[in-house]
């Protein structure tokens, strides 16, 4: 009797939890809000998008 092996799909095809959380947020929306509120003028090294992703 032959042993059948299950074929596994690679993990790189699946989205991670942080990716699933950040995908619905459009990047242009974050930068637009940062410009409107003046936060982008106060940033030093992080962009507004990087800051949002780090907080998630």
Over the stretch 14-40, which tens digit does the pLDDT of each residue have?
778 878 888 888 878 988 988 999 888
CA dihedral of 14, 22, 56, 33, whole degrees rounded to 10: 170
pLDDT of res. 36:
92
**Res. 6: pLDDT tops 80:** no
Name which residue leads in pLDDT, 10 or 35: 35
Domains held by the chain: number: 1
pLDDT of res. 1:
62
Residue 41 domain boundaries: 16-55
| CA max distance for the chain | 70
pLDDT of res. 4:
72
**Res. 12: pLDDT tops 80:** no
CB atoms within 10 A of CB 52: 18
Answer whether 54's CB lies under 8 Å from 32's CB: no
43 within some domain: yes
pLDDT of res. 44:
79
33 within some domain: yes
């Amino acid at each position: 009797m032959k042993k059948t092996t299950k074929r596994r799909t690679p993990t790189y095809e699946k989205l991670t939890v942080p990716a699933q959380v950040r995908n619905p947020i459009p990047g242009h929306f974050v930068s637009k809000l940062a410009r409107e509120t003046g936060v982008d003028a106060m940033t030093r090294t992080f962009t507004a998008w990087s800051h949002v992703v780090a907080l998630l």
